[in-house]
Amino acid sequence: MNDIAHNLAQVRDKISAAATRCGRASEEVTLLAVSKTKPASAVADAVAAGQRAFGENYVQEGVDKIRHFQETGVAGLEWHFIGPLQSNKSRLVAEHFDWCHTVDRLRIASRLSEQRPATLAPLNILIQINISDEASKSGIALSELDALAAQVAELPGVRLRGLMAIPAPVSDYERQFAVARQMAVAFDALKARYPTVDTLSLGMSDDMDAAIAAGSTMVRIGTAIFGARDYTKNKEN
């Protein structure tokens, strides 16, 4: 077993344990392997270990990997764009990715809808919430959610699937859980109104347990799977 396969097994065990502690089934939580800055060979190791869903923060880097696996005949992978999305990069996301987690304004959602090829299924969309109200973070306030969700739900080329957030880092579990519950309450309310909504993308390595206990359905894990990152190699965004 190589390092990535070993790391994936450990992360899956942690997800399973966290789910069991709060009375949930591990199958309710999807593991999104965040492969940004990592080479296609590392993704291939994860694929060989059974991982199918991958998250990318940089548009062109992600597109290059998607094309690589298409050209090598690897089917059944799911690609999620999880980084800040600039308008001039929306077409690449619309044409290549399966999901976009970072929609925080109607203009971007509209562009993704218009640019999604008719030959592909609608692009799965998550609305990003700035749950900790950080000036440095993208996302909307919870008070703006109802209006944006109603607009996104009407767009033909995208499908509203739920919410995503990146809470401010805190080490205290109770504080992590309190923030995660805010997201879960908003998610449950959204799910009650839109039948396509089923995904709460919340939780990374340091707050995964609290996120799962609160109701997250997708956790985004990178370094614990692929190792430390070298950000000097990618200056794209």
Each residue's pLDDT tens digit, 141-186? 999 999 999 999 999 999 999 999 999 999 999 999 999 999 999 9
Average pLDDT, integer, range 76-80: 98
Asked if residues 23 and 29 have their Cβ atoms less than 8 Å apart, the reply is: no
pLDDT above 90: residue 11:
yes
Q: What does the pLDDT read at residue 234?
A: 55
- CA nearest neighbour of 218 among 169, 175, 164, 142: 164
Q: What does the pLDDT read at residue 134?
A: 80
- Estimate the crossing angle of helix 40-48 against helix 59-71, to 10 degrees: 60
Q: What does the pLDDT read at residue 1?
A: 66
pLDDT above 60: residue 237:
no
Which pair of tokens denotes residue 107? 């203009």
pLDDT above 70: residue 65:
yes
pLDDT above 90: residue 13:
yes
The pTM (predicted TM-score) of the whole model is: 0.95
Q: How confident is the model at residue 232 (pLDDT cuts 50, 70, 90)?
A: low
What's the CA gap between 121 and 133, in Å, rounded? 33
